[in-house]
Amino acid sequence: MIITSLRSSALECLPSGCRHWIALFASAWLIGCGVGTGGTGAFGSAPVSGFGSIFVGTIEFDDTMATVFDDDGAAVMRDGNELRLGMMADVEGATIATGPNGPASPATSVRLTRVVVGPVAATDVGRRTLSVLGQTVAINGSTAFDRTLHGGLAALKTGDQVSVYGLAGSSGQIVATRVEPAPGGEAWRLRGVVTGLDATAMRFGIGTATFDYNGAANVPASLANGQLVHLKLSGTSVGDVLGVSAFGRVSTPPADAAHVEAEGLVAALTMPGQFRVGATTVDASRATVDPAPAALVAGAHAEVTGRLEAGMLVADKVKLLTAQEADSRPYQIAGAVSGLSAASFVVRGVPVDASTATFVNGSVASLANGVTVHVRGVLSADGTAVRALRIAFP
């Protein structure tokens, strides 16, 4: 009743690209108020969409006391720059409460996961794609680029070493959520779904690339087609075959959690009413599917809310995003203004364009270095800055 009312009245006054986020917030609020059963605590698996605390999905996680881990499960030093917009994060937190911005939880751990690290083989600005390690990486209006990559995709050239955070599908497709230069000396790596496994030759495919794992460390005993793997690559190849040096850890959710939000590409329809997003199996047999169950196909971009029971994500709602919705992810940042120049400034390392923003509790004249602001907006055309839609002063 609440969600239907929102869609039929207030939501109609908003831009279409923003409506599904508010509907998702409404469903998350219902879950936070005790609808459903399962464990305690919260879990979010989605791109980081805001700072102040960090926003993952619609959940605001206070990361003050959280331990941050990298791809390999090693703790990351907290220096204020370890979390950036668009990074894929798996966040575990305590019980959900209703905060001023919606569902909120103190985070206990944050696990960052890149989908591919390696050299750029090709870029296509017209089609908004790049190729890395035999994977086609799609860029959309919600893909954040590091502020040093002025021009976004157009700034990349063949041979550049990049780290890509994103959503990986079952056929090698990747939707990038963040692209940044890879640290110097960084080993190549890839997360993807195994296809064409030849256990005798010790080879398999991901995307258009073939991988040889003969001599690799930590080979999963149950390696099989359709399995999500995390590969560390040797950086060498024989012809078109890339060598695997080791299999890394694959991030998995906790066994139980009362409030879960996960975003990803539908990787496989395992049985009627069930599918997989990343390493998580989703039971959507009793879920509301928007727009319709027929749209739930492999490769669809899905946002799932529900609860974890024995490692299974029991969904209450599955939202399948259109290309327009995926292109218009809202971002929000709270913090002190620095580097102010006209209507441009920086908050928590993120450049902000305030030239077309609406101001609350102040005006453009209220901007000054050191003043705290709460910015809501979308990414600039090249993905390196936030174009503010609303700026509020405390």
Q: What is the pLDDT of residues 191-219, one digit of tens each?
A: 999 999 999 999 999 999 999 999 999 99
Tell me the pLDDT tens digit for each residue of 325-359: 999 999 999 999 999 998 899 999 999 999 999 99
Which pLDDT value is given to residue 9?
33
Which pLDDT value is given to residue 316?
96
Question: E strands within 1-78?
Answer: 42-51, 54-56, 59-62, 67-69
Q: With bands split at pLDDT 50, 70 and 90, how would you rate the model's confidence at 16? A: very low
Q: With bands split at pLDDT 50, 70 and 90, how would you rate the model's confidence at 235? A: confident
Name, of 111-120, 165-174, 233-242, 323-332, the range with top average pLDDT.
Answer: 111-120
Which pLDDT value is given to residue 3?
25
Which pLDDT value is given to residue 166?
96
Tell me how long the chain is. 394
- Arithmetic mean of pLDDT, 356-382: 96
- Arithmetic mean of pLDDT, 75-92: 93
Rounded CA-CA distance 287/22 in Å is 18
Q: Please determine, for residue 380, whether its predicted confidence score (pLDDT) is greater than 60.
A: yes
What is the pLDDT of the chain when averaged over all its residues?
Answer: 87
Tell me the pLDDT tens digit for each residue of 258-317: 999 999 999 878 788 899 888 889 999 999 999 988 888 888 999 999 999 999 999 999
**Three-class SS of residue 93?**
strand
The pair of structure tokens assigned to 75 is: 């703790």
β-strand partners of 145: 179
**Three-class SS of residue 5?**
helix
Q: What percent of the chain has pLDDT over 70?
A: 90
Rounded CA-CA distance 264/281 in Å is 12
Which pLDDT value is given to residue 23?
37
pTM summary value:
0.86
Q: Which domains does the chain have, with CATH numbers?
A: 2-113+252-326 (no CATH), 116-247 (2.40.50.320), 331-392 (2.40.50.140)
Which pLDDT value is given to residue 157?
96
Tell me the pLDDT tens digit for each residue of 243-256: 999 999 887 888 89
DSSP output for 290-301? ES-GGG--TT-E
Quote the Cα angle for 30-36-42, to 5°: 75
**Three-class SS of residue 393?**
coil
Which pLDDT value is given to residue 21?
39
Question: E strands within 12-152?
Answer: 42-51, 54-56, 59-62, 67-69, 88-93, 97-99, 102-112, 116-124, 129-132, 135-138, 144-145
